[in-house]
Amino acid sequence: MKNLYRGGGLRLPAFSWRLQLGLILLGLLIVVPLIMVLLRSVMPDGRLDALAPLKVMSDPGLFTIFWNSIALGGWVVLGSTLLALPMAFLSARTTIGRHAWLDVVLIIPFMTPPYIGSMGWILFMQRRGFSEQILPMTSHITPYFFSLFGMVAIMSLHLFPFLYLILRNSLMRIGGSLEEAGSVHGGNFFYLLRRVIVPLLLGSYVMGALLVFVKTIAEFGTPATFGRQIGYYVLTSEIHRFTSSWPIDFGKATSLASILLGACLLFWYVQTIISRRYQYKTLGGKGMRLRIAPLKGWRAIAGWGYVLLLLLFSIGVPYFSIIATSLQKLRGDGLAWGNVTLAHYAELLSPGSKGWQALSNSLGLAALAATAAVLIGTFLVLQMGNFKKISQRSLDLFSLLPNTVPGIVIVVGLILFWNAPWMPVKIYNTYTMVVLTYVVFFLPYSVQYIKASASQIDGNLLQAGKVFGAKPFYLFRRIMLPLLIPGVLAGWMMTFTISARELVASLMVLPPSMQVSATYIFSQFEQGEVSLGMAMAVVSVGMTTLVLVVMNQLGADRK
């Protein structure tokens, strides 16, 4: 162990061949497939044409779809802002913020798969849906909801927690002394808002808003369910159509994918520039006191009323619709005690049924993907060191790349790469391809969690073991690995949970004879067997939540 380097407080043996192996691995899994998307987009007919993606956009129909994506992203940013900003203020600057359970509950919409939340709203707001059954007067609202407005509302209710957490944390970092200083010099509330609070929030808000925009234009679940019903098509839904419906056209699919990829990377870059430009230091050595406004009387009613309405629309409505539909004998009989049954769950959980096979496939593939992701993630983190070398920084960058690239673009790249005629290993249309896609999609979660655990390990622990004659493998097994376990468990839980409910990757790479819970829900909803599909939604969300609770408890016990 003569050659040591520091990674945070961690000292690890540095072997160049392992670092190179990590770069080669990420190159094959992530970088090369993305390069193949770009190459195919500029060589649609086997001949180089750098303007091919722009020529595809000259089609009026495809240009309209591109503009639909951009407009949808802008509207969802506006909707998420209107929902998140008041909630962030109430949580950071009023006594409502003392209720820690709110932060946990407000994460539920973001953790709910978008296609499931969208289906819940469709069932609630459609003709003779739950909304009309509960309040018949809402029948006049239905036509207005099934429009771009409804799609924006559904996606905003899904993504606002992301922006809320960013704004709340920024507001909590703005100490009351800054506002008091402005008040001492005669500034009123609106002056303080304009000259103190807004400038300090701007960098964080722009970062959150652009992230919401990127997530919106990269989203597939809501456009594939709600967007299809209202005839509002976007880039992700068109890429899926070109790669899954006859006639298959990978030329147009890759052109649209490259445009989507370029747009996302451009907005990521803009976000980085703006966040650096409007970055202020609000934390110092002095103690910080927040100005917490007590809510009493009508203010308390208004504040809690907003919170409850937000929870009702973001969680209550979609989950009520999903659970109620899963318990109905006949959907035409509506909400009635005599129309309640558990038959759909019994059919779903019957060993050998299609639903049981789909659920088993989901859990098995998710477990394999999560295990592979944490093994690869642990190996990569151990090679990153102190990030002084370009190769180490490149390793970190490539491992996080799937978080910045739309999922459907990654899937197209993986299909092109692993289904290429010259590929010696044929894994396309096999279970291995599904697991590999899940691993690529969610590897960043494992890397981030494990990296966070590794950064907290003091290098002196390994030095102490070395002093007593411990070999490198013994140091890893008895010191490093036990301290990395919390990050490994967290990465495994996150990868397992999201993989078990992933839709776009499952739709595009699953073998024809295979189904998982996400594709089962999607197909049952499309074919009219809605109650069975919603029963699967309840079971899959419930089981993944249970796994999270159990694994979290195991992690707590280890601490």
Tens digits of residue pLDDT in 358-393: 999 999 999 999 999 999 998 888 887 666 677 777
What pLDDT sits at residue 125?
93
pLDDT exceeds cutoff 60 at 338? yes
Q: Are residues 485 and 376 in the same domain?
A: yes
Residue 439: give the domain boundaries. Answer: 1-40+344-559
Instruction: Write out the DSSP string of 41-83.
Output: HH-TTSS--TTHHHHHHTSHHHHHHHHHHHHHHHHHHHHHHHH
Whole-angstrom Cα distance, residue 460 to residue 466?
A: 10
CATH of the domain at 159: 1.10.3720.10
Whole-angstrom Cα distance, residue 388 to residue 284?
A: 28
Whole-angstrom Cα distance, residue 508 to residue 500?
A: 15
pLDDT exceeds cutoff 90 at 520? yes
pLDDT exceeds cutoff 70 at 500? yes
What pLDDT sits at residue 7?
42
pLDDT in tens, 265-321: 888 777 777 766 665 555 444 445 566 777 788 888 999 999 999 999 999 999 999
pLDDT exceeds cutoff 50 at 106? yes
pLDDT in tens, 21-63: 888 999 999 999 999 999 988 887 778 888 888 888 888 888 9
What pLDDT sits at residue 307?
94
Whole-angstrom Cα distance, residue 512 to residue 152?
A: 33
329, 355, 386 - which closes a domain? 329
329, 356, 386 - which closes a domain? 329
**Which residues make beta-bridge pairs with 10?**
7
Q: Is 508 helix (H, G, I), strand (E, B) or coil?
A: helix
Rounded to 5°, angle at Cα 51 from 50 and 56: 130
What pLDDT sits at residue 10?
45
Quickly tell me which residue has 């907290």 as its tokens. Answer: 456
Q: Show the 3-state SS of 338-375.
A: HHECCHHHHHHCCCCCHHHHHHHHHHHHHHHHHHHHHH
Say how many domains are in the chain.
2
Higher-pLDDT residue of 386, 394: 394
Determine phi and psi for 328, rounding to 5 degrees.
Answer: -90, 135
Top mean pLDDT of 192-201, 225-234, 448-457 is at: 225-234
The answer to whether residue 288 sits within a structural domain is no
Tokens of 201: 């929030």
Whole-angstrom Cα distance, residue 405 to residue 401?
A: 6
Q: Where are the alpha helices (DSSP H) in 174-249?
A: 176-184, 189-192, 198-218, 221-222, 228-230, 235-244
The answer to whether residue 29 sits within a structural domain is yes
Whole-angstrom Cα distance, residue 229 to residue 148?
A: 11
Q: Are residues 383 and 531 in the same domain?
A: yes
- Residue 352's Cβ-side half-sphere holds a number of Cα atoms within 13 Å equal to 0
Q: Are residues 182 and 255 in the same domain?
A: yes
The rounded mean pLDDT for the chain is: 83
At 357, the amino acid letter reads Q
What pLDDT sits at residue 120?
94
What pLDDT sits at residue 139?
84
The answer to whether residue 49 sits within a structural domain is no
The answer to whether residue 547 sits within a structural domain is yes
Q: Are residues 323 and 348 in the same domain?
A: no
Q: Are residues 113 and 13 in the same domain?
A: no
pTM equals: 0.84
Determine phi and psi for 79, rounding to 5 degrees.
Answer: -65, -45
**Which residues make beta-bridge pairs with 6?**
11
Closest by CA to 10, choosing from 475, 460, 340, is 460
Helix H or strand E encompassing 11? strand 10-13
Question: End-to-end distance of the chain based on CA atoms, in angstroms?
Answer: 29
Closest by CA to 544, choosing from 500, 489, 481, is 500
What pLDDT sits at residue 196?
63
Whole-angstrom Cα distance, residue 432 to residue 412?
A: 16
The answer to whether residue 289 sits within a structural domain is no
Q: Are residues 18 and 71 in the same domain?
A: no
Q: Are residues 2 and 107 in the same domain?
A: no
Q: Are residues 2 and 78 in the same domain?
A: no
% of the chain beyond a pLDDT of 70: 82
Instruction: Write out the DSSP string of 293-323.
Output: BPP-THHHHHHHHHHHHHHIIIIIHHHHHHH
Q: Are residues 265 and 198 in the same domain?
A: yes
The answer to whether residue 46 sits within a structural domain is no
The answer to whether residue 337 sits within a structural domain is no
Q: Are residues 349 and 494 in the same domain?
A: yes
pLDDT exceeds cutoff 80 at 339? yes
Q: Are residues 76 and 106 in the same domain?
A: yes
Q: Are residues 210 and 303 in the same domain?
A: yes
The answer to whether residue 265 sits within a structural domain is yes
Higher-pLDDT residue of 261, 551: 261
> Which residues have a Cβ under 8 Å from the Cβ of 531 and sit 6 or more positions away?
325, 326, 327, 328, 331, 344
